[in-house]
Structure 1
Amino acid sequence: MTLVPLDGSPAGTPHGSAGADGGPAAGTAGAPSGPAATTTSPPVASPGHSGTGNRRSDAPEPHAPEPDPSPSAPSSPAPTSPAAPADLAWSAPVREATDKRWCEKVTVGFRNTGGTAVRSGTITLGTHIIGALGVDWATITSTRPLPVPVAPGSRGSGTWTVCVDDWRVPLGMHVETRIVTVDWS
């Protein structure tokens, strides 16, 4: 390969210099000078690139573009946070007498303050057997299904007829449903 300066003079000859005899400088004897003396190297192809042609020796080597250092925004939408679980609150029982002293109607209000619907659950009612003098003789529990679904942010209620065995409530006694516990999912 022959290096050719940009001014066209042969390699090894300083710009505008000649040998002692006025001819070409030593080391270039017999080499033509002038514009016809310029030699070109054969076409060079870069690895990984196609094409022909000469590259200037002072031209930078081709390289892959550098990645942009600035962070880019994600192309997908921001993830959404999962909805909050159901959170059910309930009221104290509202009682209503029936024609049988061992039964009563019980209404309980519900409110879902969570982010998802209540889809299933049970309510457990604790019914006290109260004697004629106000003595609490026993507590009997009964479990019923919840009135579902209860949507997020909504209210609802359920009414159940709650009875105990008639022999547990002799004449002069009555029942009072006072305890409410709820289990939901």
Structure 2
Amino acid sequence: MDSSHTDFVFQNNVADSGSDFWVFGYGSLMWRPGFDSAENIPALLTGFSRSLCIYSHVYRGTPELPGLVLGLNSGGFCHGQAFRVTADNRLPVMNYLREREQISGVYVEKWLTVELADGRDVEALVYVADPLHKQYAGGLSAEDMALLVRRASGQAGPNRDYVANTARHLQAMDIWDERLEAVLKLLDNHTD
């Protein structure tokens, strides 16, 4: 048994090795999860809110001109998508998510209760921003966020494209994020 499996089993009583488990997506995981799920349903997470609170030094920025990507800050609520992963898919999905979400350690794995659109409450794996990490960018104003986003570009392209694409996907899912929309409006109203 590899150490990632051991850590997963012992750190999480909710999703032991013999059962399905849930993953909560609040950004690109919602429309590009990258793994198969047995069920996919809108969900609400209470106690955390979506925010451009993570400095991106590679994909949407550089160390000299960092961009911003989404994370979850403590407080508020967040509408997202929950994915049920079958037990037989557990290890590949956990390995994939850890490789995708924990490259720099800025996201912390938490098991939190989310309310599914059909009224069920389930425990889900959620990636939350670590406010003590050097890439944490919490507390920025919409104006400061827009300034960083406007100037940044990384391996995956301009940071502005990331923000606009995220807002469009959320709108298509009938999710309106006021903070993200405020940043996008400032970007749209700015002339270079």
User: What TM-score does the superposition give when structure 2 sets the normalisation length?
Assistant: 0.20
Look at both structures and tell me which one has the larger radius of gyration over its CA atoms. Answer: 1
Q: With CA pairs under 8 Å and 6+ residues apart, which has the higher RCO, 1 or 2?
A: 2
Write 1 or 2 for the structure with the bigger share of helix. 2
